[in-house]
Amino acid sequence: MNLKVLLPTEVLIDEEVRKVTAEAENGFFCLLPRHIDFATALIPGLLSFEDSEGRETFVAVDEGVLVKCGQSVLVSTRSGAKGGELGELKRIVEEQFMVLDEKEKTARTAMSKIEAGFVRRFLEVQRRG
């Protein structure tokens, strides 16, 4: 099977795999090459796959959608991180969340300034008019 994990800005994974394991709201599931075509919503957690040489790789994914159609498995998610060992993956995910938290704080500050400016200008127009 060919596994593609798509993020909004990049293709995180595009490789041949033997099996894929992921988690939906009703629990974990495993896809093998002859599995029936399948679509499901993923919850934030781990996705794992076994490559053509039998090595298992873990990927942390945010909520998203998984579609298996024929020999293709497509996963679309807002964010994800690929790591070899679980300890390494945990470190990568923590770093990414820290960066996201900082970006979110910056965006919230900018929105607060825009809102305050809008209210100030609205009050000025109201006083004049």
pLDDT in tens, 46-99: 899 999 899 999 888 888 999 999 999 999 998 888 876 776 767 677 676 666
For residue 106, the surrounding DSSP H or E stretch is helix 86-128
Question: What pTM, to 2 d.p., does this model score?
Answer: 0.70
* Confidence tier at 31 by pLDDT (50, 70, 90): very high
- Total residue count of the chain as it appears in this document: 129
| d(C-alpha 85, C-alpha 67), whole Å | 26
What's the whole-number mean pLDDT along residues 24-41? Answer: 94
| d(C-alpha 50, C-alpha 18), whole Å | 5
| d(C-alpha 90, C-alpha 23), whole Å | 17
Percent of the chain with pLDDT over 90: 49
Buried b (16+ CB within 10 A) or exposed e, 73-90: bbbbbebbbbbeeeeebe
| d(C-alpha 16, C-alpha 3), whole Å | 6
65: closest CA among 48, 89, 47?
Answer: 47
